[in-house]
Amino acid sequence: MMRNNLGAAKRLRKELQCLEKAATNGDSDVDIFLRPTSPSSLLHWTALIKGPIDTPYEGGVFKLSIRCGSDYPLSPPTITFDTKVFHPNVHFSKGDVCLDILKKEWSPAWGLQAACRAVLALLSDPDAESPLNCDAGNMVRGGDKLAYWTTAEMYTFENAMFLGWPDEE
């Protein structure tokens, strides 16, 4: 019987085991490093993601903060960027992410790693129709690729070049 947040803990423990097993076998996702923020709680995780190539985020490492409620995985985790990023669907000062699979289209079939992969896909493929950062949204929507690219790249250089990639041994 699933009592309240036991379900969340059970599922998150499984996700952690999977990540650790992949690390041991050397087949971790090379673009995502994902672990609980502290050993004391499985409800709060930190992820590092590598800016995708051929985007203005290339070369950057971005830190994400992930919080799960006790009704995870029935409800989606909340993901925010801790690293400042200039992107139409990420709030510039607060780091909130606007992504359908983290809202109405979330399904328990997704896990935290899949959610991080979706954030990476969003970096490659911004959706200017539902902007949280209107400046970035207007640039993309208005077709001013160059302005968007150079601004985003500048913020990548300014904010996302300081985090080293963890050694998974």
Partner 1 sequence: MQSETMPSDDDDAQTQDKLTQAQLTAIENEIKSSQPLTSQLLPISALLHQYSTTAANEQQQSAGFIQSAQFLSTKYTSLRRVRGDGNCYYRAFLYSLCEHLLLRNSNNNETGGSKEFSRIKTTIANSLKWVCQFGYEEMTIDMFYEELVELFDFIETSLSAADNNDKSASTAAGAAEDESNRNNAQQQLHAKLNEENSTSDYCTWYLRVLTAAQMKSNPDRFLPFLLADETNMMMDIPTFCSREVEPMGKECGMVTVAALAECLGVKVVIEYMDGRLSNNDNDAAVGGIGIGRSGEVVNHVFGQIHDENDEDRDRICLTLLYRPGHYDILY
Q: Pick from 89, 155, 156: which is nearest to 128 by CA? A: 89
CB of 144 to partner 1, least distance (A): 15
Q: Is 68 a catalytic residue?
A: no
Q: Residue 112 or 120: which CB sits closer to partner 1? A: 112
First to last CA, the chain: 37
Which residue's CB is nearer to partner 1, number 127 or number 135? 135
Please give the residues from 44 up to 73 whose contact with partner 1 meets the rule CB under 8 A. Answer: 70-71, 73
Q: How far is the CB of 123 from partner 1 (least distance, A)?
A: 17
CB atoms within 10 A of CB 64: 22
In angstroms, the CA 46 to CA 85 distance is: 16
Nearest CB to partner 1, comparing residues 7 and 59: 7
Smallest separation (angstroms) from partner 1 to the CB of 63: 16
Of these, 64, 79, 131, 156, which contacts partner 1 (CB under 8 A)? 131
Query: At a CB cut-off of 8 Å and minimum separation 6, what does 8 contact?
Result: 42, 43, 68, 69, 70, 71, 72, 73
CA pseudo-torsion sign 100, 102, 108, 110: positive
Is the CB of 55 or the CB of 159 nearer to partner 1? 159
- Residues in contact with partner 1 by CB under 8 A are 1-5, 7, 10-11, 14-15, 18, 70-71, 73-75, 84, 91-94, 96, 98, 104-111, 131-135, 137, 158
